[in-house]
Structure 1
Amino acid sequence: MNFENILVENNEGILQITIDRPTKLNALNKATIEELHVAFDDAKEDEDVKVIILTGSGEKAFVAGADISEFSDFSPEEGKVLAAQGQAKLFDFVANFSKPVIAAVNGFALGGGLELAMAAHFRIASDNAKMGLPEVSLGVIPGYGGTQRLPQLVGKGRAMEMIMTAGMIDANQALQYNLVNHVVSQEELLDFAEKLAGKIMRNSLVAISSAIKAVNANYETGVNGFETEINEFGSCFGTADFEEGTSAFLNKRKADFPGN
């Protein structure tokens, strides 16, 4: 697929996916969501991709929201379909992705942009980042998982305040809220993300995939996260990565994980 709204570059196992609509502050439209889905789907099957860094082009915005013009005249039923399809195609797809996804939040992450960042496995931000869910100022609510993931990350009270006021918080406040893990300068952001990705890649990506499943299970209704952890823990014992990891530890050498 030839992408028009995103840029994709693999650098030694680190796949950088950049939302590239600078004149629209990288706003998410239907075409961009589709392209992001395809890029992630391709990365899922690509053995050369180990970690994904998701960011926005330019210095002003990660993603400044959804493209409101695409759904301003929707009916209630069309609105439900929009949310359901978006969650399945991109936001839940990213949250449950089997490979680590780091959101490098540069500038504005508003509405669907913050929801996309929250779907990543963790977030780092530039010191000029601004984050918020302004949907109620438009007479609607977050529809791409924002009402669920924000409370999980920052707590119910803070999430309620952010959603109800439709206000923005800056990077340092996001760090205080545990919405992001680190704040660095704009110039350092991608280098810092790559350093984190490098640390991740030194470990067993098979085990990391199991860890992602286990952690996410705690947030799924009707799923016993402890049981998922037990099952994933047991499955690790049947992998070549476990054999290599334990052998390397016992023989006091660096592990060279085969990735299966």
Structure 2
Amino acid sequence: MQHPEGYVSHEIEHGIATIEFFHPSSNALPAAILADLAKTINDIGIDNRVKVIILRSAGDGAFCAGASFDELMAITNEAEGKKFFSGFAHVINAMRKCHKLIIGRVQGKAVGGGVGIIAATDYAIATDNASVKLSELAVGIGPFVVGPAVERKIGVSGLSQLAIDATGWRSAEWAKRHGLYSEIHSNTQELDDAVASLAEQLSHSSPQAMAQLKKIFWHGTENWDTLLSERAAISGHLVLSDFTRNAISKFKSKSAK
């Protein structure tokens, strides 16, 4: 769907659905785009024309800058905070429950919620400049909502490294070594060729077999509707702190220079 400052779009061709999101602030994710993304994934997940899904962001720059700082600053109470962070929970849960395998196309850097979305794909293919960072602790929050998805992919050790060193980037090679990325390629042409090749291969695979495989991959996450909602409440509480307000203001003033 179109938004004044961004969009979520999709197309279906030969059994392959491509979902794309865009925001001018390095593909950040305000609430409206998160809601559209979750709805689109849910709708395509039950579309019988679709065998496999490619999830991508627009442009050649960052894959995803994570939460919208403007919207974080606008939160005035815990209910609003929980509602905002639940947007990420809804996207991750839509990806988890979708019966189709989801290939992530990661052309550039990812921060915070963007890393969570990558972790919730079933097979992520990236370029070698697609570094990752969980910056939440640096602004007084923490990767509470995306944490379960990241931990599921790279373990407690990998999650703790990203969460604790909240200002440091981890390279695409690090992400591949820890299992966040399945493949890395040296440029976007090679990235797109690899994504297209895998999607084509899966579009001719058994939908029933892929659905059963996905169920196995996500075994043990059946409580995530509740868990991620509880985690959203934690972030929604912390975002109201003076520490977070001041930290986000500093980040915004730096990025404006």
TM-score, length-scaled by structure 2: 0.78
Q: Per the alignment, do residues 182 and 79 of structure 1 end up closer, same or farther by CA in structure 2, a change over 3 Å counting?
A: same
Amino acid at match of 2:82: K
The 1:35/1:191 distance shift into structure 2, 3 A limit, reads same
Query: Compared with structure 1, are the counterparts of its residues 85 and 20 closer, same or farther at alpha carbon in structure 2 (3 Å cutoff)?
Result: closer
For structure 1, list consecutive stretches of 5 or more residues without a partner in the other structure: 223-260
Q: CA deviation at 1:20?
A: 1.8
SS of the equivalent of 1:168 reads: coil
Q: Between the two proteins, what is the percent identity of the paired residues?
A: 28
Query: 1:80 corresponds to which residue?
Result: 82
Q: Once the 2 structures are TM-superposed, how far is the Cα of residue 5 of structure 1 from its aligned partner?
A: 0.8
Q: Within the alignment, does 1:15 sit opposite 2:17 as a pair? A: yes
1:11-59 deviation per Cα after TM superposition (whole angstroms, max 9, x unaligned): 21111111122x2111001111122123213212322221111111111
Letter in 2 for 1:155: G
Preserved CA contact (<8 Å) 1:56 1:62: yes
Instruction: Give the Cα–Cα distance (whole angstroms) in 2 for the partners of residues 102 and 50 of structure 1.
Output: 12
**SS of 1:5 mapped into structure 2:** strand
SS in 1 for 2:67: coil
**What do residues 172-231 of structure 1 show as CA deviations (whole Å, max 9, x unaligned)?**
111111111000122221221111112222221112112211221234469xxxxxxxxx
Relative distance call for 1:143 and 1:82 in structure 2 (3 A) is farther
**Corresponding residue for residue 158 of structure 1:** 158
Query: Which has the greater radius of gyration?
Result: 1
Q: Give the structure 1 partner of residue 191 of structure 2.
A: 189
User: What corresponds to 1:63 in structure 2?
Assistant: 64
- Matched-pair contact (CA < 8 Å) for 1:95–1:121: no
Q: CA RMSD in A?
A: 2.0
User: 2:255 matched to which residue of 1?
Assistant: none
**Structure 1 Cα separation of the partners of residues 157 and 2 of structure 2:** 43
SS of aligned partner of 2:99: coil
The superposition leaves residues 134-180 of structure 1 with CA deviations (integer Å, 9 ceiling, x where unpaired) of 11111101243x22122222222222121011122111111111111
TM superposition shift of 1:100: 0.9
Instruction: Check if 1:6 corresponds to 2:12.
Output: no
TM-score (norm 1): 0.78
| Structure 1 stretch displaced more, 172-181 or 4-13 | 4-13
CA contact (8 A) 1:6 1:20 kept: yes
Q: Give runs of aligned pairs for residues 1-260 of structure 1, distance below 5 A.
A: 5-21=7-23, 23-74=24-75, 75-87=77-89, 89-144=90-145, 146-166=146-166, 167-184=168-185, 185-220=187-222
Alignment size in residue pairs? 219
Task: Return the structure number with greater relative CO, CA threshold 8 A, min gap 6.
Answer: 2
Q: Which runs of 5+ in 2 are unaligned?
A: 225-257
Cα deviation, 1:64-102, whole Å, max 9, x if unaligned, reads 111121122433343233333531x21111122111111
The question of whether the paired residues in 2 share the 8 Å contact of 1:83 and 1:143 is answered with no
Which 4+ runs in 1 deviate beyond 3 A? 1-4, 218-222
Write the letter of the residue equivalent to 1:13.
Answer: G
Q: Secondary structure at the match of 1:55?
A: strand
Whole-angstrom CA distance in 2 between matches of 1:46 and 1:221: 25
